[in-house]
Every structure is written in structure tokens, then in C-alpha cells.
Amino acid sequence: GEGKKKKEDADPDGELLAKTEDPMGDATKFVNLLAEHAGGLLQTQTLSMDVFMRKGRLLKALAALKRAAKIAPSDPLLHRSVVRFLLKVADSRAAAPAPVVQVLDSELAASAEWGLPGLSGPPADYNKKWIAQHASGSVKHAAAAAEALSLLSGGKDADAAVDLILKESVAGPKLIELTAIYHWVKASGCSAAKLAVFVEKARAHWPLATAFQ
């Protein structure tokens, strides 16, 4: 009501949160809360994937992946998470318990049934198919493919990755989205010439923006 006092935030700057002694434990509580109240958001599921991959809980990450595939199977945000997940599975296979590996192999072999065909093969092959199907005509999708390509090559194909982005118009995304792509291009290790081409395109579309330096 009108007479109620607004509850004060005891940690407005997040300093206490940043000092947590159990970051993964707190992150798990956070994603569980998100799943309870905002499970229909793609960001909730990709964040859950990230947390559970960091914890080595691959079956939990897989469950979040399957939920994400029902929400937006071709979304660029999900593509980044899919490639990271496939690489994590490949890296963890030797040390993972046999029953976990069996479940992962079975579920990935049947991935077409839950919206993401082709997950049982090499991650690089999956990225190539995704590029052919989705990267053309959208700079956000091209950026996701580029990040995946760079991740798969260990950063060695930075120029080739950025070329995927440079082929597309920058007219689609919001300024904040294009700025995020710019920061990735800048940090990718690509040549100065490639970065300059991107900056020129971005400034031409957003002439008053100061983000593209």
C-alpha cells in the first residue's frame, strides 16, 4: 500500500555476491530459481547449460539443451551453447562414467527427434551445416557461426570466422547487439584490416554511435 516502505537492497552494488565462497553453488541456486519462474526463456536454458557444464554435470546440461531446442532451435544464442556442449562432451568422454556416456550417446544420436539433428557427429561438421542453413542473411546468426568456428579451431581461423560476419549486412541488429558483435570481432585475433572493415560498416549504419572505436 501507500504507507509501505520500500525494502532496501542490502547489497546494491553486488559486492557481497561477488565475494561468495561458493560461486558455482550460488550460480546453481540462481539458475534453479530462473528455471522455476522463467523456464520458458531461452536465456534461462542456455545459462543453465553453462553452469552445469562448468560443474561437469553433463546430463543436467543435456536436459537444459533439450528444453532450449523446444524454445528456439535455430537461435544464434543456442548455437553457441550447442557447440560448447559438444566440445565439453568430447573433452569429458574419457573421464565420464560409462552410464553417463551411454545416455549422452543415445540422446545425441536421437537429437533430430528433439529438434537439433546432427549432434552425434563431429562438432565441426555440425557447425558447417548450421552455417549453410542459418548464417546467410543474418549478421547475428553469422556471428554465432563465427564464434563457433573460432572456438572449434582454437582461435586459429579468426580471419575466416570474421569473414562470415563481414558478408552480412549490419542493418538488422539493435545497437547493443551489434556492439557485442564488435567486441567479439575486436577480441577474436583477426587482422587489423578485417576489424577496420567491420568498423566502417558499423559506423556507416550507426553514424552517431561512439561504440565502434
Q: Are 83 and 143 in contact (CB under 8 A)?
A: no
Which among 86, 28, 91, 39 has a CA at the least distance from the CA of 64? 39
Q: Are 39 and 47 in contact (CB under 8 A)?
A: no
C-alpha distance from residue 138 to each of 4, 6, 8, 28, 142 (Å): 49, 44, 43, 33, 6
pLDDT, residue 33, reads 84
Tens digits of residue pLDDT in 108-153:
999 999 999 999 999 999 999 999 999 888 999 999 999 999 999 9
Tens digits of residue pLDDT in 167-186:
999 998 999 999 999 999 99
DSSP 55-79: TT-HHHHHHHHHHHHHH-TT-HHHH
CA 4 – CA 8 distance, rounded (Å):
12
- Residue 18 pLDDT exceeds 80: no
94 Cβ contact list (under 8 Å, min separation 6): none
Residue 123 C-alpha cell reads as 562438432
How much is the pTM? 0.86
Which among 26, 33, 24 has a CA at the least distance from the CA of 57? 24
pLDDT, residue 65, reads 97
The one-character DSSP state at 172 is: S
Which among 27, 33, 34 has a CA at the least distance from the CA of 54? 27
Q: What is the CA radius of gyration of the chain?
A: 20
pLDDT, residue 63, reads 96
CA 176 – CA 212 distance, rounded (Å):
11
Sorting pLDDT into bands at 50, 70 and 90, what band is 7?
A: low
